[in-house]
Every structure is written in structure tokens, then in C-alpha cells.
Amino acid sequence: MTPPCREWVNASIRRIEMERTRCAETHLLKVELPSMPGLTLYLKDETTHLTGSLKHRLARSLFLYALCNGRIGPNSTVVEASSGSTAVSEAYFARLLGLRFIAVMPSTTTAEKQAEIVANGGEVHLVDEPGEIYAAAIRIADGTGGCYLDQFTFAERAVDWRVDNIAQSIFHQMSEEEHRVPTWVVCGAGTGGTAATIGRYIRYRGLATRLCLADPVESVYHRHMADRNVRTWRGRSVIEGIGRPQVEASFVADLIERTIAVPDAASIAAARVMSRFIGRSCGGSTGTNLWASLLIMQEMAAAGERGALVTILCDSGERYRSTLFEDTWLAKRKLSCAPYQRQLEAMLAVPDVSSDPARPEPIQASPPRARVGG
Ligand SMILES: Cc1ncc(COP(=O)(O)O)c(C=O)c1O
């Protein structure tokens, strides 16, 4: 790449900083669970970012990092390997800077997410094997003389874990609550960047909060946590965004104090049931977070503990309307959510929350069963 024009780089950084200033923080929702008095669940609702997921933060950081490293110039094609959500946000930032953007993704990525990338001005390149996305992205970047943003390597270092991040926002928003230091934060790992930011922030601020990783059963991460020699796993999960076939460079295992492996059907059941229960549409990785969170809360309740647990509403179920919220799609893949739905209903002590297939509906379509405060 020819040395990027410094004025263009300066102006681009300024544009991104202006965008940040125009954006509002996301809400921390308080969910009252009548079945678990003394315990409170909080959801960091990242769906309200302009590009619909927690990846808005990461995309902004990756662009700034690449610009400040001299890797992006006015004629660069920007390329990323992604399961979709990051690419949606990166397409938005590429357009903000007037750059071509190509997302390399598994062919199983939902049509909804592909459409959002295109709507944000990006291009989609699909590969058959999820493990092929990295090599294909490098090939395209080399072929176009462009920049491979490489979220899986750079997520943990592009994000400032001391200030101005999701962890600081969560703990600030908790500061007036009854239990202002949550007992647990539960999150999934795609790149591992979000977990690394939260884990580092907890230590930096000297907080007693513990970090739990919620991981799809077919992901390598929980296997790696049990045995650090395990670095790859040839499993397939239908939960997009989290769980990986290889331990990514941005995954910092030492920050995680507990791991819960979640079957895909349990994640889907949790996404569907909780979408109704809280009146906010939840995607698959949020279902994984919620399933693990409710298991921990159940344990805390059984032990007579009081306190708070925070987890993340990563993206909306609308992005999975044609897959995780479609019964025929689930049946074809022999995914049976019913047993998990019943378990959830018992945990929540609310009969019948999922009596209809629980497709994501406009938020006001049915009254939420839980009291959810912003
Ligand atoms: C929907 C969704 N949830 C969660 C994550 C995990 O975040 P991280 O990459 O910071 O580990 C991702 C990552 O792509 C995602 O797309």
C-alpha cells in the first residue's frame, strides 16, 4: 500500500470521533424475576447501537487502530472475516470513510445479516467451511492491495480496556443499584475481545465481580478452558457470533473464572422464551448468555445468596428470524427446544411464556411478563 495521505487519515479519525460523540450509550435493563427474590438480572442492551449489536464498539476501535497504524488509506479496500455482526458494523464505518468493504463469512450466515451488510454499502463473500474465512479474507486483501482488519487477532488490543468501553459503561450504570458490584458478569466469546475487556476492567478497578464464559457446546473455548492444550475443535454450532473452531488470539483464558457449555437448543429456547418474557427481541448468542445466567442465578438462589448478575443482549432476534425463530428450519436440523423451554418456564415460574413459536415480534405486540426497567 502506498503511504496513506496523512490529511486523509487525520480527517478519517476525526470523522469516527465525531460519530462517537453523536452516539448515545446503550441501556442497562433491570429484569425482575419473581421466582428469584433477592437476585436481579441486568441486561446490557447492545441492540440499540446504530448498527444493532455490540460490534459497533469493536468496529469503531478496529478502524481507529488500523488508521493509527497506517494500514488504511483513501484507496484501501477493507476486508474482514466475520460471522456477520462485526461485518455489519464495519460496513457502516467503511461507508463513513468512503471505502470499499468486503465481508468474508460462512455460507450459513443468515440472509438477514447479509442484507444488512449490503444495506450499509458492503459486499459479501461467502465460503463453505467456517474455518476458511481467515485465509479467504487474507487472499482478498492481498489481491486488492487492501487491509484485512482481522478482528480475531486485534480485538483485544484495539479496544482500550481502562476507559470508554462496555465494561466501564456497565459498572457506571450499576453504580446506583442496590448491588452495585454484580456477583457475576456472563458473556460469550467470538473473538474473545468483549470478555477480555470486561475481565481486565474488573481487575483494573479491583472489583469482586467474577467473569463467566457462556460457550456453545460445539465451541473450542470451553474445551480449552478445561485443557489449555486443546486449541481446535471440529464442531458445528448454529449460534452465530460466539464459539469458535480455534482459540483466537484475542481470547484471554486467564481472565475467565467459570465456563458454562450451552447446547444450541438451550440457547435458542432461551432466546425465544426470554424475547417474550422481557419484551425485547434476543438473538442466539444472547440466548446462550441468558441460559448460563439463569443457571448461575438458580444456584445462587439455592444457596440463599443475594446479588446481581449482568449479561449482554448482543443483537436482536430479528437477525435470525428465518433460522432460529423458524420452526421448520429447526426441525430440519433436529433441534428440539421444547425440553429447554419447559425448564426455562419452571425457572422463571411463569407458565406458558412460549406458548406460541415466539418469533420476534414488534416489542409492543404482547405485553412483557417481566418488569423490565431501562
Ligand atoms: C452476536 C454476537 N455476540 C457476541 C459476540 C462475541 O463478542 P466478541 O467477539 O467480543 O468475543 C459476537 C462476535 O462476533 C457476536 O457477533
Q: If you measure from the C-alpha of residue 60 to the centroid of ligand 1, how many angstroms do you get, rounded to a whole number? A: 14
Quick one: 218 and 286 in the same domain? yes
266 in a structural domain: yes
10 in a structural domain: no
Ligand 1 proximity of 242 Cβ (cutoff 6 Å):
yes
Give the per-residue pLDDT at 241. 97
Residue nearest ligand 1's atom 14 by CA:
241
Ligand 1 proximity of 85 Cβ (cutoff 6 Å):
yes
Give the per-residue pLDDT at 73. 96
17 in a structural domain: no
Owning domain of residue 346:
22-49+162-373
346 in a structural domain: yes
Quick one: 187 and 274 in the same domain? yes
Give the per-residue pLDDT at 181. 98
Quick one: 273 and 178 in the same domain? yes
Q: If you measure from the C-alpha of residue 123 to the centroid of ligand 1, how many angstroms do you get, rounded to a whole number? A: 20
Residue carrying the nine cell digits 474455518: 131
Residue nearest ligand 1's atom 2 by CA:
241
Quick one: 175 and 314 in the same domain? yes
Quick one: 36 and 111 in the same domain? no
Strand partners, 184: 210, 309
Quick one: 259 and 353 in the same domain? yes
Residue 297: closest CA among 313, 310, 278, 316: 310
Give the per-residue pLDDT at 352. 60
Give the per-residue pLDDT at 362. 35
CA dist 299 and 258 (Å) reads: 14
CA dist 220 and 189 (Å) reads: 10
Which of 110, 125, 156 is a domain's end point? 156
Question: Taking CA 261 as the corner, what is the angle to CA 171 and CA 62, rounded to the nearest 5 degrees?
Answer: 50
Please check whether residue 117 is in contact with residue 24, taking contact to mean a CB–CB distance below 8 angstroms. no
121 in a structural domain: yes
CATH code, domain carrying 117:
3.40.50.1100
Give the per-residue pLDDT at 353. 57
Residue nearest ligand 1's atom 16 by CA:
241
Q: If you measure from the C-alpha of residue 303 to the centroid of ligand 1, how many angstroms do you get, rounded to a whole number? A: 31
Report the atom number in ligand 1 closest to the C-alpha of 193. 10
Number of domains in the chain: 2
Ligand 1 proximity of 188 Cβ (cutoff 6 Å):
yes
Q: If you measure from the C-alpha of residue 85 to the centroid of ligand 1, how many angstroms do you get, rounded to a whole number? A: 7
Give the per-residue pLDDT at 349. 83
Which of 138, 156, 174 is a domain's end point? 156
H-run or E-run covering 65: helix 55-68
Quick one: 132 and 275 in the same domain? no
pLDDT digits (tens, 9 = 90+) for 268-300: 999 999 999 999 999 999 999 999 999 999 999
Q: If you measure from the C-alpha of residue 257 to the centroid of ligand 1, how many angstroms do you get, rounded to a whole number? A: 19
Quick one: 137 and 237 in the same domain? no
Ligand 1 proximity of 83 Cβ (cutoff 6 Å):
yes
Strand partners, 210: 184
Give the per-residue pLDDT at 287. 98
8 in a structural domain: no
* C-alpha distances out from residue 22 to 50, 56, 173, 183, Å: 11, 13, 20, 33
Ligand 1 proximity of 315 Cβ (cutoff 6 Å):
yes
Q: If you measure from the C-alpha of residue 188 to the centroid of ligand 1, how many angstroms do you get, rounded to a whole number? A: 7
Residue 202: closest CA among 184, 190, 215: 184
Ligand 1 proximity of 182 Cβ (cutoff 6 Å):
no
Please check whether residue 318 is in contact with residue 50, taking contact to mean a CB–CB distance below 8 angstroms. no
Residue nearest ligand 1's atom 15 by CA:
241
292 in a structural domain: yes
Quick one: 251 and 167 in the same domain? yes
CA dist 172 and 168 (Å) reads: 6
Which of 156, 191, 209 is a domain's end point? 156
Which portions of the chain are predicted below pLDDT 50?
A: 355-368
